[in-house]
């Protein structure tokens, strides 16, 4: 649909650019980060992490430590092996108004872990629950079925398919899917992406197209990582960025480049990283919001590399917030719920 809006010369130039960038893609992808089965399954079952994910990692896999359960656990295990009881329990839980979607997903994933060693029985239970769901909602809203995870059985189906597809993904199509996602990510990163709305200039969806993109230039930055606590830094890592990138977007590109280059993630998470720009022999902290941020009416503009006048070839130092607390007390403002109203990546209008 987007192609219909563009003149033919632009389409041809874009196609040629994509063809010439295939070699760059293969070079920049780096190692494919395949997860072992138990970490793959735990992320599918409990995407929010926490204690349930930790327990899941411990309870599935080949290195499970066999622990004799107490009498209560043994009794519960026998009950959930009764298909009629289990389906009635699920229906009863879902009739409770206080039983939220988050609760439904948690129950479904816990059942998947508990019955993980008997997938045939889990499949039978899932089929019975699916039939009940089809009879209940199929006549009134057939097009909405299984489009959103709003019931226990829908989450069960997601978990079941993930378990069954793991081997196929790992051995057959995983590499191709990873290359596809990497290619899309790299192409999107070559143009402006609004940090607030997440709309992009280079996108496959018209709904997510950034129609009013600000002027930008491409930058090659020399990024050094702090080593130890005595001020030593690593050899420079070249990172591609845009002058319109916000500080958080630059951090994300730095960590993504690090992972692609070395095949593993940087020791600190994005939220625990701060960056500094070397200017005239001293280092200037880069923050999304600080005292120099531009304010237009009630909107505070997020600081970009252009705002800090970071040139091509500039040196950036990456440090950990745990050892170097942030200078600006306003660094956490972006996390507030009213962030899209109070802050903007591009001038309003």
Domains of the chain from N-terminus onward: 37-171 (no CATH), 213-344 (3.10.20.90)
Angle at 149 (CA atoms; ends 188, 54), nearest 5 degrees: 80
Q: pLDDT confidence of 64, banded at 50, 70, 90?
A: low
Residue 332 confidence (pLDDT): 41
pLDDT score, position 18: 56
Higher pLDDT among residues 211 and 19, named by residue: 211
Tell which residue, 304, 305, 318, has the closest CA to residue 256.
318
pLDDT in tens, 326-347: 444 344 444 444 344 467 776 5
Integer Cα distance of 328 and 275 in angstroms? 12
Where does the pLDDT of residue 98 fall: very low under 50, low under 70, confident under 90, or very high at 90 and above? Answer: very high
The predicted structure's pLDDT at residue 341: 44
**What is the arithmetic mean of pLDDT over 272-299?**
90
Residues 6+ apart with CB under 8 A from 160: 112, 119, 122, 123, 126
Instruction: Please state, rounded to an integer, the average pLDDT across all residues of the chain.
Output: 82
Count of alpha carbons within 13 angstroms of residue 332, beta-carbon side: 5
């Amino acid at each position: 649909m987007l192609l219909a809006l563009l003149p033919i010369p632009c389409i041809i130039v874009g196609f040629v650019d994509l063809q010439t960038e295939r070699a760059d893609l293969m070079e920049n992808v780096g190692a494919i980060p395949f997860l072992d089965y138990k970490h793959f399954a735990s992320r599918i079952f409990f995407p929010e992490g926490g204690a349930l994910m930790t327990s899941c990692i411990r309870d599935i896999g080949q290195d499970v430590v066999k622990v004799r359960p107490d009498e209560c656990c043994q009794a519960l295990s026998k009950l959930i092996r009764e298909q009629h009881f289990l389906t009635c329990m699920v229906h009863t839980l879902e009739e409770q108004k206080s039983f939220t979607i988050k609760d439904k997903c948690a129950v479904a994933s816990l059942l998947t872990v508990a019955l993980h060693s008997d997938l045939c029985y889990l499949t039978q239970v899932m089929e019975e629950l699916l039939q009940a769901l089809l009879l209940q909602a199929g006549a009134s809203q057939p097009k909405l079925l299984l489009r959103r995870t709003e019931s226990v059985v829908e989450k069960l189906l997601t978990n079941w398919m993930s378990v069954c597809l793991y081997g196929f993904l790992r051995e057959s199509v995983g590499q191709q899917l990873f290359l596809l996602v990497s290619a899309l990510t790299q192409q999107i990163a070559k143009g402006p992406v609004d940090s607030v709305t997440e709309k992009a200039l280079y996108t496959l969806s018209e709904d997510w197209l950034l129609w009013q993109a600000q002027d930008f230039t491409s930058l090659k930055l020399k990024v050094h990582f702090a080593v130890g606590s005595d001020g030593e830094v690593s050899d420079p890592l070249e990172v591609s960025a845009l002058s319109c990138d916000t500080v958080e977007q630059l951090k994300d590109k730095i960590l993504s480049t690090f992972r692609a280059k070395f095949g593993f993630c940087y020791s600190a998470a994005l939220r625990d990283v701060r960056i500094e720009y070397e200017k005239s022999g001293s280092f200037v902290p880069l923050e999304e919001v600080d005292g120099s941020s531009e304010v237009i009416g009630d909107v505070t503009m997020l600081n970009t590399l252009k705002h800090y006048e970071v040139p091509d070839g500039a040196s950036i130092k990456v440090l950990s917030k745990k050892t170097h607390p942030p200078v600006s007390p306003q660094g956490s403002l972006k996390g507030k719920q009213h962030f899209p109203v109070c802050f903007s990546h591009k001038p309003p209008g």
